[in-house]
Structures are given as C-alpha cells and as structure tokens.
Amino acid sequence: MLFVMAYRAGILGGSGYTGAELLRLCAAHPELEVVHVTAETNAGAEIGEVYPALRPAYGTTRYAPYAPDDLTGLDVVFSALPHGASQLLAPDLVGRVGHLVDLAADFRLPADTYRRWYGEPHAAPELLGEFAYGLVELYRDALAARRHVAVPGCYPTAVSLALAPLLAEGLVEPRGIVANAVSGVSGAGRALRTTSLFSEANENVSAYGLLTHRHTAEMEQALSRVARQPVEVLFTPHLVPITRGILATCYARPASPGLSSARLLEHYRDFYAQDPCVVVVDEPSGTRADLRRERRPRHRAVRHPHRDGAGDRGRGQPREGRRGPGDPGVQRAARPAGDDRAAAARGRPVSVTAVRGFVAGGIASGIKPSGAPDLAIVATEDRAAVAAAGVFTTNLVQAAPVQVSRAHLRDGRAAAVVLNSGNANAATGAAGRADARRMCDLTAEGLGVRAEDVLVCSTGLIGIPMPMAPVESGIPALCGALSASGGSDAARAIMTTDTVPKEATARAGAATLGAMAKGAAMLSPAMATMLAVVVTDAEVPAPRLQRALATAVSSTFDCLCVDGARSTNDSVLVLAGGRAGPVDAHAFTDALTEVCGSLAEQMARDAEGATKFVRVTVTGARSDADARLAARAVAGSQLVQCSLNGSDPYWGRVLSELGASGAHLDPERVAIAYNGITVCRDGVACAHDADALAREMAGREITIACDLGVAHGTATVLTTDLSHAYVDENRRTS
C-alpha cells in the first residue's frame, strides 16, 4: 500500500498580486497541489497568460469563476480576495473545506475592535473564534487548536517580529513604542490608483494613515499577547517608489539600564533560533539596512531556494547528488547483504554512547526464545531529566508503548528510554498499556528517576501479550550494567529481522549526536517507518527539539518506502543533554537530518530479502509535492521492484507508475534513466548501450532517474527490490 501526503489546495482571487505570489509559493511547496484557482475579471484565462513566469508550474490551468461546489472537499482553500469579501463567503466555505486561510484582514480582530477600526460591523462574527492568528513564529501552538487561519498583515508582521523578543522578556517598556515603516506600491493591489501612478510615486516619499492606520490595532493585539499586558504603538507608514518590500524601524524605551547591543543580538538569535524565515543579522557598524538584499523579483520563473551548506532537504538523502537522466554519475561500491555497515567508522564510537553524558546497555533477558539480545536502555549518565522530543507512527492502531511514551513526553522531558525486541506489545489492550507502564516503573526504580521521565519502545510480533517475567528480572539487572561503552550492545538488542545493528553519529559545532535504530521491514513514507533513539549533548529546548526532529524526519524516514507498510510501533525519540551548550539551530537540524538520513539508508540497505538498494529520483515535476507522488508511486510498485530483482531495466513499468501516480505530466516529455543510462526519452524508447546497462543493473546500487520535463519539482525516495527471500520471510508470522 502506498501512502501519499500531498494536500489539495484551492485559491480564491488568484489573478491579483497577492494571488499570483501565493501561486508562486504553492508551486514550490513540497506538500501542496493547487487544483482550483478562481478569478473574476480573468475567469477563463490560463494562469500563464496573466503571469507568464508561472506557466512552467501550472501549464494550461485556467482561472475559474467562483462556485462553492467546486471547492467542496479540498484540504485547504486560500482566500486572496480584497478586504471584506472573505467574511461574506466564509459561512458557506468553512463546512466545505478542511482549512480556510484568509489573507485579508477579515478574521484578524475581535468584532468590536474590527468595527472600531474598519468602521463597519463584521459580517460573520460567529466565525471569528474559529480562526487562529497566523503569525507562526509567535503563535505556533495556537494554530494547532484551530481549523482556519487569519494571515497577519504585512506591517504587523514586520513590526511584531521586530518587537516581540523584547516585549516577551520585559526588556522594553510596553508604552510609547514608535514604529515607522516604508513599503512599495504593489501593496495597494493591481487596481488603478492615483498614488500608484509612476508620475506620483517616482522620486517621492509620502506618509499616509498617520497614527490612524488600521494595522495599528493588529500590532497592539499581537504584541499585547506576547507581553501579557497592554502594548501601545504609534505607527506611521510611508509609500516609497519601489515595487515591493517593507522596512520597519521601531523605537522602544529600555525597561532597565545596561541593555547592550550584544545582549540584544544574543536574545534575538535565541528567540528566533528555530524559525527559518527570520534571519538575525550581526553586521559591522555602518552597514545599511537595504531592502534589495531581501527583496526578490516579482513573479520570477518558479525555482526552489537553496541554503548553502544545508543540503537539499526534502529532495533527497544527505550527501546525494542531483543527477538527471543521462548524467553518468559515480556509484558507490556495492556491498553484499549483511556486511558490517556500521563499521564504516571503525576506531571511534558510532552509537548513542558517542555522546557525553549518556550511558546505555543491552542484554538477553529471555523475551526472545532464541536467546538473542532483546532488552536495551539508554539513559542520562547523571539520571537527570533533559529536553526530549518524539515523532510516532501515523497508524491509527498504535501499540501500548507508543501511547505511554506520548503521554510521558507531554512535558518535553525524559531521563531514559527502555526498549525491547521480540514482542511489539501491540493490539494488547489495557493489559498491554499496564505492561508498558510497568516497564517504565521498573526502569525508574532501577535508575532512581521518575516513571514519567522514562520512555518505552517495543518491536516484534503484534497481538501477543508481553512476557513480563523476563522483563521483571531483566530491567533491574540491565540498570546496573549501563556504561559509556554500551551503545552498540543496545543497538544489537533492538534488532528483529535486521542482519546488522544500525548506528550513526554527526557533529553540530561543539556538540555530538549519536543514534541507533532498527528496521528491515514495514518501511513506508508516512512517519516514522522505524524505531530509533537519538541523543545529543547540545543544549536545545524541547519545543525547538521537536521542530528540528519533524524537519529531519520529513526528508529522511518519510522518503523511505520498502514495502508500503506502516508499523504500529514506529517511534523516533531524541534526548538533548546540554553538556556542550547551545549550538546554531540550523547546524543542529542539519546534523539531526544527517544521522536520520544515515539510519534511513542503512535500513534500506538491510531490508528483508533485498538484493538492490535503489534511489528513485524525480525531477522536472510541477512541484515537489508532485515529484514525491511520482517517486513514491515508482518506489512502491511491486512490478517495478520485481523487475529490479531480475536486474531488468523495464522502464515501461516505471512510466506506467508515473502516469498513474496523480502527478501532472505529459508522457511525451518524460525521460527515464538507470544509473545515468537513458532508456526512455520523450516517452519512447531511445538508443543506449545495452551491455553497459546490463552491467549497471547487475550491481547492488541503482538510481532510477525520472525527468517529467514540466517544471522544477524534485524528490528522492529510497526503496529496494522485491525478492523471493522477502516473501519467504513474511509468508509466516515474523
């Protein structure tokens, strides 16, 4: 079974400046597919006719007139309509769509405040409580509690983000704040206005809405929530002769003397450390604030941004190249199944105990009848609870350990993880939950910590009660045997059908990350695809740790598909001890992505019965979401996997899966290559070196590169072949 994660989206008012910018952003979004766009005056026209730079992303898609029935069932609808229009349509839309995102001012303020500043009563006051204020950097948690989103205004976003870190910590006075801002002429929209004429705006600066601008109420509301007391802002906007961009300069009185620039910069960096859209710049004195450094050309041809040194997250595995069909590329040396892949870093620890402040161990307690190791513990050396985060299976049938660990992680703290293999403790009801809690209690007693600070993981057979006798004796014995060299023992103790332990390390500045995982089957791109524990000596607050883990998982484990099955027990846990102190947030996320990527690749290489390690790379898609749809369809196809097992470059099956994936494509523009040898061009067979291709297909590592030739969306999914050995392994309970 193949699981996809693209959201079907609609856009209202897609031919205005706001709608066009939204179309550009959605085209580059890895999980959105725009399927319906409305316009009034441009209804019937192709998007590419109105905005030629968007043609590569949207092809012949046309604007449609507004009809509510056309939007029914969409996952999300963005309203880019003028102010006042959304509140008239929302009563009919909120019951039809999953989420309504309003980009106007219609749902940002309470009804009384709205009437005072906008001079008219709200048309749908009963819906105001259903919208969350969408300033993500400040109200991320509130967004999760609401179905619909009111996108903040442009000026309030600039001013609120500038002042929030200071007001949140009481570093400045909440009254007497002055905000001056300049912006470009496109903010007024495409309608003809005297103030937007070139002859009026050129070589001119004009102030407007002096101390009466409607965005003032929004600023004061947002900042008062952050400061937890009333905030007053004196705001004056200015129109300057540029197309787009905002520069806000804010003034506030320090709440106490001695507030240095160095302290301010440190505070800003810490406040926004995990927010990639906010960049805190520490520049030499005298450097100008320059809008040209951040402003991008309006409606340029769609492409995807890349941050130097960060890898291409969301598009492929760490350290993977960007080869297209026909590019030769160099393949890694093939390894036989079952070799010691963890020994790539011989001579240094590569597991959880490579990190200062953590101990681990693994033993054979008797859970497995074979007598193989089956019980592991990873714990902080001083037994202190530290910041922790977790991502768990999306399967609605969740094992007892998953349920217990979720509950224990509510406070974002943990001191230990206890894991067993040989029994999943899944589909075991209340008794199973009691057994999972008992494992936490035993670990807590043995280590001298709170039971709520212990997380629990199990892997093995589903539907069989946990054999508690070996657990009751094994956990106390293991608690007394933990050591700073026990990481590899722990990694071996969580193996089931794995042939080798899976371990990885990475660095983030002065900090180290160490990880272990198990996984050889039930691997599918729908989180989490496996059991893993990552520890680090970096100091990372729990909320940032959770966001970093979600980011890492999305481009690693979520891009792994061996058999399309999601386990009941999948869990990825991270504990941050803090001994190395704070590290750069982006560097930490990159390092976490690196270890997760390494573990994902190790799992694919060790998949049950696999004789091929395969990367399915799709380029040239309409969006990253389309690319993922296409790559997952190919990677999860049993027919493709069978032909790989036979070393048969049967590209017809690949093309067929691309066409059935739901991704937008023109079959006569598709190219397909195996290990850089193109076998299909423009949707038909093409001449190639058959002997060279046969040699490539006989190897263990294969890259199937598919260029859809539509736009710029890319994605890579890891998979394997489907062998007789896989069937033999899974034709019985295992």
Q: Over the stretch 94-104, which tens digit does the pLDDT of each residue have?
A: 989 999 999 99
Cα dist. 631→328, 637, 665 in Å?
Answer: 20, 10, 13
Q: Could you tell me which residue, 625 or 42, shows the higher pLDDT?
A: 42
Which residues are paired to 351 by β-bridges?
A: none
Query: What does the pLDDT read at residue 499?
Result: 86
pLDDT exceeds 50 at position 524: no
pLDDT band at 266 (very low <50, low <70, confident <90, very high): confident
pLDDT exceeds 60 at position 327: no
pLDDT exceeds 50 at position 311: no
Tokens of 585: 């947030």
Q: Could you tell me which residue, 344 or 371, shows the higher pLDDT?
A: 371
pLDDT exceeds 70 at position 456: yes
Which range (21-30, 91-100, 217-226, 579-588) has the least confidence?
21-30
**Mean pLDDT, residues 50-57:** 88
High-pLDDT (> 90) share of the chain, %: 58
**Mean pLDDT, residues 295-302:** 38
DSSP 429-450: HHHHHHHHHHHHHHHHHHHTS-
Query: What does the pLDDT read at residue 71?
Result: 93
Q: Could you tell me which residue, 266 or 343, shows the higher pLDDT?
A: 266
What is the Cα–Cα distance from 496 to 509, expressed in whole angstroms? 34
pLDDT exceeds 70 at position 370: yes
Tokens of 571: 């869990």
pLDDT band at 420 (very low <50, low <70, confident <90, very high): very high
Which residues are paired to 713 by β-bridges?
A: 621
pLDDT exceeds 70 at position 283: no
pLDDT band at 273 (very low <50, low <70, confident <90, very high): confident
Q: Which helix (H) or strand (E) holds 241?
A: none
Residue with tokens 């005056």: 41
Query: What does the pLDDT read at residue 346?
Result: 37
pLDDT band at 732 (very low <50, low <70, confident <90, very high): low
Query: What does the pLDDT read at residue 210?
Result: 80
Closest CA to 183 of 212, 207, 151: 207
**Mean pLDDT, residues 601-623:** 87
Query: What does the pLDDT read at residue 80?
Result: 95
Query: What does the pLDDT read at residue 557?
Result: 84
pLDDT exceeds 60 at position 27: yes
pLDDT band at 521 (very low <50, low <70, confident <90, very high): very low
What is the Cα–Cα distance from 595 to 505, expressed in whole angstroms? 6
For residues 711 and 57, is the Cβ–Cβ distance under 8 A? Answer: yes
**Mean pLDDT, residues 403-419:** 96
Query: What does the pLDDT read at residue 319?
Result: 28
Q: Could you tell me which residue, 195 or 682, shows the higher pLDDT?
A: 682
Which residues does the annotation mark as catalytic?
529
**Mean pLDDT, residues 67-90:** 93
**Mean pLDDT, residues 631-658:** 93
Which range (135-139, 321-325, 414-418, 592-596) has the least confidence?
321-325
What is the Cα–Cα distance from 545 to 707, expressed in whole angstroms? 36
**Mean pLDDT, residues 597-619:** 87
**Mean pLDDT, residues 453-458:** 97
pLDDT band at 362 (very low <50, low <70, confident <90, very high): very high
Query: What does the pLDDT read at residue 190?
Result: 58
Closest CA to 375 of 265, 493, 270, 268: 493
Q: Could you tell me which residue, 615 or 606, shows the higher pLDDT?
A: 615
pLDDT band at 323 (very low <50, low <70, confident <90, very high): very low
pLDDT exceeds 90 at position 558: no
Average pLDDT of every residue of the chain: 84
What is the Cα–Cα distance from 517 to 351, expressed in whole angstroms? 10
DSSP 186-231: GGG-SS--GGGSHHHHTT--EE-STTT-THHHHHHHHHHHHHTS--
pLDDT band at 650 (very low <50, low <70, confident <90, very high): very high
Quote the distance between the C-alpha of residue 224 and its chain's center: 30
**Mean pLDDT, residues 53-72:** 90
For residues 504 and 515, is the Cβ–Cβ distance under 8 A? Answer: yes
Query: What does the pLDDT read at residue 279?
Result: 83
pLDDT band at 334 (very low <50, low <70, confident <90, very high): very low
Q: Could you tell me which residue, 310 or 289, shows the higher pLDDT?
A: 289
pLDDT band at 193 (very low <50, low <70, confident <90, very high): low
pLDDT exceeds 90 at position 315: no
Return left, alpha or beta for 228; rule: phi > 0 is left, psi -120 to 50 is alpha, else beta: left
Which range (47-56, 576-585, 639-648) has the least confidence?
47-56
Query: What does the pLDDT read at residue 338?
Result: 37
Query: What does the pLDDT read at residue 2?
Result: 36
pLDDT exceeds 60 at position 132: yes
Query: What does the pLDDT read at residue 329?
Result: 31
pLDDT exceeds 80 at position 451: yes
What is the Cα–Cα distance from 7 to 77, expressed in whole angstroms? 10
